Each structure stands twice: as structure tokens, then as C-alpha cells.
Structure 1
Amino acid sequence: MVHAVDLSGRTAVVTGAGRGLGLAYARALAAHGAAVVVNDVDAEAAEAAAKLVREAGGRALALAGPVGPSETADALVHAAVAEFGGIDVMVTNAGVLRDTVLWKMSDEDFDTVVNVHLRGTFTCVRAAAVAMRAAGRGGRVIVAGSPTGQRGNFGQTNYAAAKAGIVGMMRTWAMELARAEITVNALIPVAATAMTRTIPFFAPHVEALERDGVALPDELRKGEGFGTVEDVAGLVVYLASAESAGVTGQAIGIGGDRLALWSHPQEVAVEYADGGWSAEAIAAAWPATLGRAPETVGMPAPGEGQ
């Protein structure tokens, strides 16, 4: 018999929870017993999401505000403590897109995405870590990465930089917070959302799902690991639970029918030269050594979705 995951007595903050993945996370956490502080930059969306949670029998409080500023992060943690007695789980989901190729990307395009994703994750996790450490009862931090941050994607300089940075911070925080029994992990989700609707390959499937309720085909659910937002929520609940106490510092992919563990960057080939490497020596050695199997970029990775 499968053991039921119980989050009773825990409080979670979910940023960007007015719709899409964040809403699915908030609803799943509440369904498993957690109280939830629902954040979104859109006040009406945040309140509507909190209402959905309450109507389903859960406990939820809406708090609107843009992530990035420390004031928003502090307010979210304060609300969790004041309304529900503490904070046990921080889920940093909020995000925006400003896609364009490098030579057309403005400073504003770059700064907006980095501020929301990277700085927003930093300020929210910092505020949560301060409160969790002071309470002394451990905690769970779940941050949002992306396949784009892992492998790059055409037209997403800002998003790739922010998402790669988030996973880098996650590894550091997993070490820094281990003594306080606070785990830190990154989701690498792939799901039908407003963001993935902008990708031509996924767009017709997302539209058919949203408009007509057409189920995603197996070649997407298994081949691409692409599913609904609800398919991702189970991993968030697991990582928020007592059952995941031994899991930290990991980047975990989920989507459709696929659950995957992403590797950390590591050396995959090494060569040595007595006295070091000159430019000429590298040029001579490269084709027959490190250059034989160069790393690939972009999505999907070779062997995935094919």
C-alpha cells in the first residue's frame, strides 16, 4: 500500500501561484494538509487562487506583490508566521518571459527577467531561511529551474541565465542550510502553461488541452516528458514532506509521465600535457581528444523525446 503524504501542521509560501504551475502547487499542498500563503503580482488572481483552496477545504491566505524586492519576500514570510504560526516550505515559482535573440534584447528585457526569477528567488529564500533557522524546526525550500537553464534555448538569454543561476544558488544553499535541517532542491518542470504556449512545437497541444480538454498524447507525456501542471505538483508535495528529508541539493525533472534526476556539471573528459598547455598544443590535440565528443546545447537533449 502506498503511504499517504501528510503535510498537516505545515505552512507553505508559493510565489506566482495565481495560475498555472503555482496554482497547481498551492492546491496540491493544501489538499495534503498544508496551510498556504498564495502570492501573485495580480491581486485578483491571488485572491481567486486562495478562494479555490478554501472552497476545497484547505487553508489559504492571498498576498499580492511582485517578487524581487526584499519587502515582498519579508511580507510573505511575515504573513505565514502571523496567520499560520510559522513557515515550513518556500516554493519560488514566480516568473516572466521576455524572449528575443541576443542582438535584439534590451537592458530592460534582461533586467526584468533576472529580477523576477533570480533576485526574486534569492530574496524569498533568504527571508524563509532566516525564519526557518530562528524557529529551529527545519524546513523545505523548493526553487524553480528549467530545461532552458540546464541546456540553453534559442532566444532566451535572460531566462537561461536566471534559471541556471537559480540551480547554482540551490546547490550552495543545500550546503549552507544542511545543519539547520533545511533541504533545498530545484524543480525542472515541463508542462502546458502560458509560457510553453509560446513554443511553436507545444502550442497546438496546449491550446487543444485548454480549449477542448484534449489529452496530451503519449509521445509528449513520455517522449518529451510534457504534461499538465497537475503532473508536476506531486513532486512539490513530496519535496515539502517529511519523506524527502534525505533529499537535498538536487535538480529534479518532472513532466507528463517522466521523473528524472539532472546531473550536476562535471568534467567529462581530461587531457594532460607536461609543462602545461600552449595555444598550439591545444589546437593540435583538440580534434583527437576533447573534441571527439563535444557537449551539445539546446532542447531536447540527444536521446530524449526521440
Structure 2
Amino acid sequence: MALDGKVAIVTGSGRGLGLAYAAELARQGAAVVINDVDAQTAADAVSSIEAAGGRAVAVVAPVGSTETAKALVAAAVENYGRLDILVTNAGVLRDTVLWKMSDDDFDTVINVHLRGTFTAVREAVLQMREQNSGGRIICIGSPTGQRGNFGQTNYSAAKAGIVGMVRTWALELKRAGITANAVIPVAATAMTATVPYFAAAVEADAAGEAMPAFFRHDLGFGTSDDVAGLVAYLASDAAADVTGQAIGVGGDRLQLWSHPEAVVTAYHDGGWSTEALEESFPVEFGSQLQTVGEKFPPLPDDLQRPAPTA
């Protein structure tokens, strides 16, 4: 198996995407530290991995604090003797439009997603550097962090920040043989289950049936298990040369996201005054302005569902 002898931490892994990542890492031979805020959920996750022949222990604590990050690394070292892989997946949502978003809405999401990623990675890297045997940092991003999404100021800021940190860590950790990558999943979750556009896919998944090809192929929208393979690949020795990347995965689709690059460059002798911009900006840049948000194609007639009634 690809990860025999490796030890992994997966934050937010009691259920959903996080549990799928942890289960696949265990299936590939890694011992796993499960993390969740609910003790029973964490215990059930450990039991499911052990029932499948894997090894797992749990740390019940909310991510964000340095104390939790230290506890996660300590659990890996005390139970399995080392740490090789960290997957930062824990997250919460507090969605609302900008003018209704409270300080607590913003701070809670930033603390769990962005600070929780930072503190966990910092403690993991301290252990990996001490071991002097390399390591794998895999941070979970989102299409929202890449393109924005209505009502998710806090979440888009956190997920964009995660990708920015990953690019920096890829530079800082290269000499230590530690890779850092971001995974951008598109999958059926508790959040997408409430979106009418995805109803046919969510219904099929809940019934244990294959999702329609439109979702899996055209949209790259699939199950949690569809994402787990990429996480395990990036954790393996086969991906030793892959670092600093943002990689999208969902359904049958795999994507390599570009880093931000200038799409148009123009020059004006003496600099760009307001008057020069008024004259030249529409000509030089108007046709190249970048889109924001996700743009989904119309659903085929056979996949449309009636709008929910009040």
C-alpha cells in the first residue's frame, strides 16, 4: 500500500469529506488521527476505520488554537511514533451578505479555517522538521476561495488565504522535503444538499446510485470518495515533486488551478494619471475584465426538480 508506515492527522474528519480522506489514507496503510468537536462522532469514525482494518485514534477538540494543534501532533507521536501527513479539513459556515455579517460570523469562520490551518501546519512542520524525513501538508480549499461566492465574505477570505499560505509554505519547506498543496473539492456535502441545482445528484447519492453524467463529467461534481484519492496521492511518495499547487477534483474531473497572473499589461509614458486611465482603460482592459463567481450551465430537462414550496 502507498502509505505503509506513515502517520496522518486529518482535522474535521468525523464525517463527510474529512472522514472520506481519513478512511482512504488508512486504506492505503497510514495510521490516522481523527479530529472532531463531537466525541461520539469521532469515536464512530475511529470504529469505522478499525472495522475496515485500519488504525486510528481520536482527538476531540475544535481547531484554531495552538493547544489543539499541539494535542493533534502529540496524539500522532504518542500513539504511532511520528507524523508524516497533515490534512487540514475542519471548517464551519456562517453565511450571510456583507452588510448583515457580524464580527462573530467573520471571526468564527476565519478562526476555524484560516487560523486553524495555520496553527495545525505550524505544529506539524515542527515535528516533521525534527524527524528530518520530509512530510506532506494538504490543505483543503474551495472554489469559493478561487472565484468568490455571494454571501460568503468570511469563507472566501479564509479559503483564498489558505491557498496563499500553501504557496508560501511550498517555498519555505522545500529544503526540508515537505510538500504543501491545496485541494479544491467539489462534492455532495451537507451544504450542497440544500442547493436545488444539485438536487438530482444529491438524490442519487443518497439512494446509493451513480450520479448523472452531467454532474460527474460536465460539472465535476461527485461524492466525498471521489476527492479522497487525490488526497492520498498527494500524501504519497509518488507526489514528492508536486508542491505549491491548487488542484481541483470532483466527480470524473481533475483540474490544475493557475496561480494569479497578469492577463493584460499596458504602459503610459509618465505614468497613469486619472485622465490617461479614463481614456485608455476601457480600450486596454475593458474586454479582459475577469469574471467572478461560479457560472453553471442550465440543467438538462430530465435533471430539473420543482422549486421547493413554502
Q: TM-score, normalised by structure 2?
A: 0.94
Matches within 5 A, 1:77-116: 77-116=73-112
Residues 1:253 and 2:248 are matched in the alignment: yes
Q: Corresponding residue for 2:305? A: none
How many angstroms does 1:176 deviate by? 0.4
Conserved 8 A contact 2:197-2:299:
no
Q: Deviation string for 1:39-59 (max 9, x for gaps)?
A: 011111111101100111000
Conserved 8 A contact 1:16-1:93:
yes
Conserved 8 A contact 1:8-1:32:
yes
Q: Secondary structure at the match of 1:129?
A: helix
Q: Deviation string for 1:144-201 (max 9, x for gaps)?
A: 1100000000111110000000000000001000010000000000000112223332
Q: Which amino acid aligns with 1:195?
A: M
Matches within 5 A, 1:31-70: 31-70=27-66
Q: Corresponding residue for 1:21? A: 17
Q: Corresponding residue for 1:76? A: 72
Conserved 8 A contact 1:67-1:120:
yes
Aligned to 1:283, which of 273, 278, 287? 278
Q: Secondary structure at the match of 2:168?
A: helix
Mean alpha-carbon deviation: is it higher for 198-207 or for 110-119? 198-207
Aligned to 2:290, which of 279, 286, 295? 295
Matches within 5 A, 1:1-306: 6-210=2-206, 212-300=207-295
Q: Which runs of 5+ in 2 are unaligned?
A: 301-310
Cα distance in 2 for residues equivalent to 1:88 and 1:232:
20
Cα distance in 1 for residues equivalent to 2:51 and 2:194:
32
Q: Which runs of 5+ in 1 are unaligned?
A: none
Q: Deviation string for 1:13-59 (max 9, x for gaps)?
A: 00000000000001000001000000011111111101100111000
Q: Deviation string for 1:186-217 (max 9, x for gaps)?
A: 0000000112223332245324422x223211
Conserved 8 A contact 2:9-2:87:
yes
Cα distance in 1 for residues equivalent to 2:179 and 2:115:
20
Cα distance in 1 for residues equivalent to 2:292 and 2:265:
20
How many angstroms does 1:279 deviate by? 0.9
Identity in percent: 64
How many angstroms does 1:285 deviate by? 0.3
Cα distance in 1 for residues equivalent to 2:298 and 2:10:
30
Cα distance in 2 for residues equivalent to 1:215 and 1:136:
44
How many angstroms does 1:304 deviate by? 11
Cα distance in 2 for residues equivalent to 1:92 and 1:304:
33
Conserved 8 A contact 1:224-1:304:
no
Conserved 8 A contact 1:12-1:80:
yes
Which segments of structure 1 move beyond 6 Å, counting only runs of 4 or more?
303-306
Q: Which amino acid aligns with 1:238?
A: Y
CA RMSD of aligned residues (A): 1.6
Q: Deviation string for 1:96-117 (max 9, x for gaps)?
A: 1111111111111111111100
Mean alpha-carbon deviation: is it higher for 195-204 or for 279-288? 195-204
Q: Secondary structure at the match of 2:197?
A: coil
Cα distance in 1 for residues equivalent to 2:18 and 2:100:
30
